[in-house]
Structure 1
Amino acid sequence: MRRLALRTLRDESLFGRGDRVLVACSGGPDSTALLHVLVMLRREIGHEVIGHGVDHGLRPEARGELALVAELAEKLGVPFEVTRVDVEPGGNLQARAREARHRALQDAAVRRGATVIATGHTADDKAETVLLRLLRGAGPRGLAVLEPRAPSPVSPSGADSPRDLVRPLIRARRADVLSHLERHALVFARDPSNLDPRFTRVRVRRELIPLLTELSPRIIEHLCALADMLGDVCPSEDPMGGLGRAQRGAIERAQKKGMRTVKIRMKGGRELDVTFPAGKIVLNEKK
């Protein structure tokens, strides 16, 4: 896995000598392996590593999971901090927790002078996300998911520019992660929500992927290759990138009717005002 991460870092120019990398750590297997691998690669790349965890206050186990990361970070000689955020129970809980986590990481990156934020996404995560987007009717650009380097979905709380997200493990399989953890005797936590079939991603991971693997043993590689190809042919500046079919349809119909603006609802309950200045499509988040 170390070689896979090094090749991805170099091929994609994710960061270089002198850069400070903030690693998003939850205590789970992926982020634990990521922290360890990036520390191992410091001599070759010449970067700095700092760790950061976010406690959403939704699970009492999270405090202990982050304590595992803090212990590992101390052994590795890596600074580590935790941000605690308040996410109230209710609708769209996962989406709101994700947004709060991203903003906390952005604020931490600004405060600590980090140039990028590294997350532990793997090839399995990428394949699962492609399938989830297909189930939701995403268009071609919406299937170009989890690129090695991508802009942040949120901005920091202040006026600073958002830090890009980088994914050094995006070419590694989940099995590679587990092998790395076992080889180096690294302790990690398991989030019970990853086994909860109420979440669509869990059913995709535990039911759909195994079925597709029976039909095509290399389905993970095929889905990742599809996402990469679509990322190459669909411009990332596509203003409707990542929107679902219904949202894109509403925008296209409004544009054809000559409407000046149309409102669309995003996942998580956010609303966007879409305008059409000089024939262009501009998405504006409602405050």
Structure 2
Amino acid sequence: MDHRPGLDPSVAEVRRAVRTALDEIEGAVVVALSGGPDSLALALATAFEAPRRGVRAEAVVIDHGLQEGSDAVARRAADAARSFGLEARVVRVEVVPAEGPEADARAARYAGLARAAEEIGADAVLLGHTLDDQAETVLLGLARGSGTASLAGMAPRRRDETGPTWVRPLLGVRRRTTVAACAAESVEPWTDPHNADPTFSRVRVREHVLPVLEAELGPGVAEALARTAEQLREDAEAFQEMIDETIEDIVEHAEAGISISVAALAANPAALRHRIIRYVADSEFGVSLSRTQTLEVARLATDWRGQGPIDLPRCLARRVGARIELVARA
């Protein structure tokens, strides 16, 4: 616990969250810093807690180059980190158009952070997502109807097959707490104009949807959404363990693709059957099947009436004897 006289409760809360995260990390860490209140509060707390645990920490500021003056904003954020006692660097990334402005910027940002972590020799990257970000993510997933994987929100810790562990120490901390922590430490955050642009769906959820829910249903909506995400992550982890235990017994390689046992799929509960289908499609072809597509593939096992191949992104699903094949399109 922090016992300094007059320590602001918001500062203590952020430090406590960071301290808990650092206790589970070995080696150096990168602090992803944008200059906004969440990442600044994270950097401030890390600068305080890391030296006390013998952890080397360096702030990395990603400059996407998408706004005029972004280089100056990035330099100011790096200078702020240095004033806290952290090493800091600015990494310029190229945003390649692919899925949309938000997704493209996010992909470039994470790639830049991963490269910086490798150069620094850090095994973990600390991200400043808060409980409010988690609640927004759950609402956006609910609106898209994208299933429990999306409703499970952001994981507190996620390890890539290659690259660093992504750690979110502040997922239990409200955004207002990070704002208060910066004010208590006399640090002025940068305000990203994109965070007030209503063309972005997340901004509309933040500025309009969540406040209306809080006003109409009472306080605690954001916390309830975050708890829902936590429970769904537990379910998702349990399902994944079940899939990992059974997948080798029911899946075989096929020419130009992969095949799944019809009998095994039909014998499993629908929730597990559908997860297996989505998992196989993603693992083999890197595609995320929609609910409708998943159900159509499942019908090849549960409601077989001689239907022909099903056209999916990058592949076809077809019934061949006692197996369902997912094969690359010619």
Match of 1:126 in 2: 134
d(CA) in 2 for partners of 1:4, 1:145: 22
Match of 2:237 in 1: 235
Deviation at 1:216, TM superposition (A): 2.3
Match of 1:268 in 2: none
2:196 is the counterpart of 1:147: no
Match of 2:299 in 1: 256
Deviation at 1:47, TM superposition (A): 1.6
Counterpart secondary structure, 2:290 = helix
2:91 is the counterpart of 1:83: yes
Pair 6,71 (structure 1): closer, same or farther in 2 beyond 3 Å: closer
CA contact (8 A) 2:296 2:310 kept: no
2:112 is the counterpart of 1:69: no
Deviation at 1:263, TM superposition (A): 3.5
User: Could you give the per-residue CA deviations for residues 178-232 of structure 1, whole angstroms, max 9, x where no partner exists?
Assistant: 1100000012210011111111111111111111001221101100000001111
Q: Percent identity?
A: 31
Match of 2:102 in 1: 94
Pair 64,10 (structure 1): closer, same or farther in 2 beyond 3 Å: closer
CA RMSD of aligned residues (A): 3.4
CA contact (8 A) 1:22 1:114 kept: yes
Deviation at 1:88, TM superposition (A): 5.1
Within the candidate set 28, 44, 48, 1:40 is matched to: 48
User: Could you give the per-residue CA deviations for residues 137-171 of structure 1, whole angstroms, max 9, x where no partner exists?
Assistant: 0212321111211234xx7xxxxx21111011111
CA contact (8 A) 2:18 2:45 kept: no
2:171 is the counterpart of 1:177: no
Match of 2:223 in 1: 221
d(CA) in 2 for partners of 1:58, 1:129: 23
Deviation at 1:261, TM superposition (A): 8.3
Within the candidate set 5, 28, 33, 1:25 is matched to: 33
d(CA) in 2 for partners of 1:109, 1:212: 39
d(CA) in 1 for partners of 2:90, 2:186: 24
Of the two structures, which has the highest relative contact order with CA contacts closer than 8 Å and spacing of 6 or more? 1
Pair 6,91 (structure 1): closer, same or farther in 2 beyond 3 Å: closer
Gapped runs of 5+ residues in structure 1? Answer: 156-160, 265-271
CA contact (8 A) 1:55 1:83 kept: yes
d(CA) in 2 for partners of 1:148, 1:90: 27
Q: Which structure shows the higher helix fraction?
A: 2
Match of 2:209 in 1: 208
CA contact (8 A) 1:137 1:245 kept: no
Larger radius of gyration: 2
Q: Bigger CA drift: 224-233 or 34-43?
A: 34-43
Given the two structures, how large is their TM-score scaled by the length of structure 1?
0.81
Match of 1:158 in 2: none
d(CA) in 2 for partners of 1:77, 1:172: 23
CA contact (8 A) 1:139 1:245 kept: no
Pair 117,245 (structure 1): closer, same or farther in 2 beyond 3 Å: closer
Deviation at 1:87, TM superposition (A): 2.1
Counterpart secondary structure, 2:312 = strand
2:61 is the counterpart of 1:56: no
User: Could you give the per-residue CA deviations for residues 27-52 of structure 1, whole angstroms, max 9, x where no partner exists?
Assistant: 11111111111111124433211011
Deviation at 1:111, TM superposition (A): 1.1
d(CA) in 2 for partners of 1:146, 1:34: 17
Given the two structures, how large is their TM-score scaled by the length of structure 2?
0.71
Counterpart secondary structure, 2:30 = strand
Counterpart secondary structure, 1:58 = coil
Pair 88,12 (structure 1): closer, same or farther in 2 beyond 3 Å: closer
Give the AA of the match of 1:234.
A
Runs of 4+ residues deviating >6 angstroms: 243-246, 258-261, 278-282
d(CA) in 1 for partners of 2:137, 2:170: 15
d(CA) in 1 for partners of 2:173, 2:324: 39
Gapped runs of 5+ residues in structure 2? Answer: 1-9, 241-274, 302-307
